[in-house]
């Protein structure tokens, strides 16, 4: 009997990925259906519905779901959910689809990823898109809509993603036919929720923490994972292997870095490394909630939430992704509430006077004594060929990153912000 936390939604893992004869029959049928091209973000969301990573979701959201999530963190049936999961189409394509019609969803590379029964179509005007952005992406760093819109459309990749969506959202249940490139490209790292749960069960784990990564592991990440190792049965280092913004480091490079760290600086029996197929939304606090929600489906009980979790620029308060967990609704119906809890950890750094890793809760010394660690500053320093401060990262990891940056022919400017520089 598993001792792990139940999947979110109270229905177990709801997996839309077809297999065997059913898969072959649906693939054949899909060839004759109307085709709608989906974005990389929508493709990642689709795969997560396929594998059960987005349980209990089995369809792209209706307007009632979308509105409930934006306003109250709740699906129309009262289940907690923090970020819209929607599918957009051109108006002409949407008008050509009848209510109840089945369509094929096609990746930008031309692969048929799924079939979908369209049960609802709803328009997304510019005002609707802006409403979603203000509800989901606006944080304490830009407390008014006026401040937010002064910079969001130019500097917030998540906002840009929403505003570039097509004009009509299609809702309805999906049958997923493919996991794309992930099983082969990230073999041994890409894990479905059921696969991760089996690993944890085989190790007899009960309380499992997840470390979310989109940057290579520096000393602060390592320290966070080790804190979690002290109080949990094990830690799941779970890297995003979907699309990132320009200047972020590719997943295959980050995976090599994690492999090196785990082998040299952790007890391997206490760590599992995995990857998941979503694109970053850069939604800060709301994305921290999403990370906890789908990690629950992987069997995670504790989500490590540190400084500026899933943030971008100065849009969010330093620990806003922690405090938001104290403000979300708790549905009364069993299974519909979020069960994965935040492991809130203060700003961590290397302190020369402490002669080791520390946090604002443990170190009494001044900023001048500390090596302030952030993925942004790591990427900026490596991209510009600067010498990194001592104790910023493990040399074995920095060697891998220097090799990667040395291979680039074009470099992207890395913008700094308050959370990255410590200002």
pLDDT tens-digit readout, 309-349: 999 999 999 999 999 999 999 999 989 999 999 999 999 99
pLDDT digits (tens, 9 = 90+) for 229-263: 999 999 999 999 887 767 778 888 889 999 999 99
158 Rama class: left (phi>0) / alpha (psi -120 to 50) / beta:
alpha
Widest Cα–Cα separation across the chain: 68
pTM score, whole prediction: 0.93
pLDDT digits (tens, 9 = 90+) for 78-121: 999 999 999 999 999 999 999 999 999 999 999 999 999 999 99
Average pLDDT over residues 269-297: 96
Q: How confident is the model at residue 420 (pLDDT cuts 50, 70, 90)?
A: very low
Place of tokens 């049960």: 119
Looking at every residue in the chain, the average pLDDT score rounds to: 93
Give me the residues paired with residue 60 across strands: 172
Active site residues: 214-215
How far apart are the C-alpha atoms of 110 and 4, rounded to whole Å?
38
How far apart are the C-alpha atoms of 255 and 107, rounded to whole Å?
25
Cis peptide upstream of residue 56 (ω within 30 degrees of 0):
yes
Average pLDDT over residues 362-387: 81
How far apart are the C-alpha atoms of 41 and 45, rounded to whole Å?
6
Domains of the chain with bracketed CATH? 20-124+165-178 (3.10.400.10), 187-421 (3.40.50.620)
How far apart are the C-alpha atoms of 172 and 188, rounded to whole Å?
32
HSE-up of residue 89 (Cα within 13 Å, Cβ side): 24
């Amino acid at each position: 009997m598993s001792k792990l936390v139940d999947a979110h939604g109270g229905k177990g893992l709801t997996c839309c990925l077809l297999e065997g004869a059913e898969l072959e029959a649906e693939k054949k049928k899909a060839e004759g259906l109307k085709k709608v091209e989906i974005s990389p973000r929508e493709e990642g969301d689709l795969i997560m519905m396929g594998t059960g990573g987005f349980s209990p979701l089995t369809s792209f959201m209706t307007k009632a779901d979308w509105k409930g999530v934006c306003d109250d963190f709740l699906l129309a049936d009262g289940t907690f959910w923090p970020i819209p999961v929607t599918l957009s189409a051109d108006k002409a394509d949407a008008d050509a689809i009848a209510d109840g019609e089945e369509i094929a969803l096609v990746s930008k590379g031309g692969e048929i990823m799924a079939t979908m029964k369209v049960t609802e179509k709803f328009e997304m005007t510019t005002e609707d898109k802006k409403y979603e952005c203000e509800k989901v992406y606006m944080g304490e760093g830009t407390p008014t809509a006026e401040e937010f819109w002064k910079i969001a459309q130019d500097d917030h990749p998540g906002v840009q993603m929403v505003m570039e969506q097509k004009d009509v959202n299609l809702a309805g249940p999906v049958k997923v036919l493919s996991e794309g490139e992930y099983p082969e490209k990230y073999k041994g790292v890409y894990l479905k929720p059921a696969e991760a749960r089996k690993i944890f069960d085989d190790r007899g784990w009960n309380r499992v923490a997840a470390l979310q990564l989109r940057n290579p592991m520096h000393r602060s990440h390592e320290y966070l994972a080790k804190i979690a190792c002290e109080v949990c049965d094990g830690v799941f280092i779970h890297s995003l292997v979907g699309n990132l913004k320009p200047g972020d480091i590719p997943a295959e490079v980050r995976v090599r870095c994690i492999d090196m760290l785990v082998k040299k600086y952790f007890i391997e029996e206490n760590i599992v490394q995995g990857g998941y197929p979503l694109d970053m939304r850069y939604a800060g606090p709301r994305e921290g909630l999403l990370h906890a929600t789908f990690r629950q489906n992987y069997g995670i009980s504790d989500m490590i939430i540190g400084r500026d979790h899933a943030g971008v620029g100065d849009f969010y308060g330093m620990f806003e992704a922690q405090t938001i967990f104290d403000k979300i609704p708790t549905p009364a119906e069993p299974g519909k509430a979020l069960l994965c809890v935040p492991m809130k950890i203060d700003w961590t750094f290397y302190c020369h006077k402490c002669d080791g890793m520390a946090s604002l809760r443990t170190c009494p010394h001044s900023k001048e004594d500390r090596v302030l660690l952030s993925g942004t500053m790591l990427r900026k320093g490596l991209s510009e060929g600067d010498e990194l401060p001592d104790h910023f990262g493990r040399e074995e990891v920095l060697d891998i990153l220097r090799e990667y940056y040395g291979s680039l022919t074009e470099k992207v400017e890395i913008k700094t912000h308050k959370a990255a520089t410590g200002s």
